[in-house]
Structure 1
């Protein structure tokens, strides 16, 4: 079960996805992160350390390419992230629009963890 704050964030992630400004799935996330087109990375809290490291490596490759750091948040579960965007379980979601990313960063600030 999720709190009201978490529900709002999940709904906003869904809005970004419906607007075509969110990428999910390992291949699409990898490409978007490595090409430096990502503005925000959201990773499910319940993925394995190995999966987390792989996703963060993709983000690091994008950071080196663009010279800018991508903010990363560990939030919710694979099931909830997938449900939010109308898909099956998702370990990571990349936000590609700066405006959506900025608003989500504000909303996620209380959820920032060391990842």
Structure 2
């Protein structure tokens, strides 16, 4: 199984474990209050949304990933979303290590 697929599976697990925050407003709030450890924004999201999430993530020093399309992210968590934040250190570490490989 490739790294991308493992990441998507982990996203699904995090969702079932109740460790993800999804939706633009909730994710921005989570970034600001330090809940978000890792943020995924769909590679095909609008330029405005990508810029907003990128700016917030870099200002608050949260890792940002753009490796998936909106469809891939949505399928992984079973909900239609363009932005997802991981609110768990364990999942974040595992995902970051997969992205570095």
TM over 0.5: yes
Task: Note if 1:105 corresponds to 2:96.
Answer: yes
Q: How far did 1:60 drift?
A: 4.2
Is 1:7 the counterpart of 2:5? The answer is yes
What is the aligned partner in structure 2 of residue 113 from structure 1? none
Q: Superposition RMSD on alpha carbons, in Å?
A: 1.6
Moved over 3 A (4+): none
1:91 to 82, 91, 100: 82
Task: Please show how residues 9-28 of structure 1 align to structure 2 within 5 Å.
Answer: 9-28=7-26
Which digits, 9 at most, give the CA deviation of each residue in 1:62-94, with x for residues without a partner?
Answer: x1xxxxx21111111001101101102x21110
Structure 1's unaligned 5+ residue stretches are 64-68, 111-115
Q: Rg larger in 1 or in 2? A: 1
| Equivalent residue pairs, number | 101
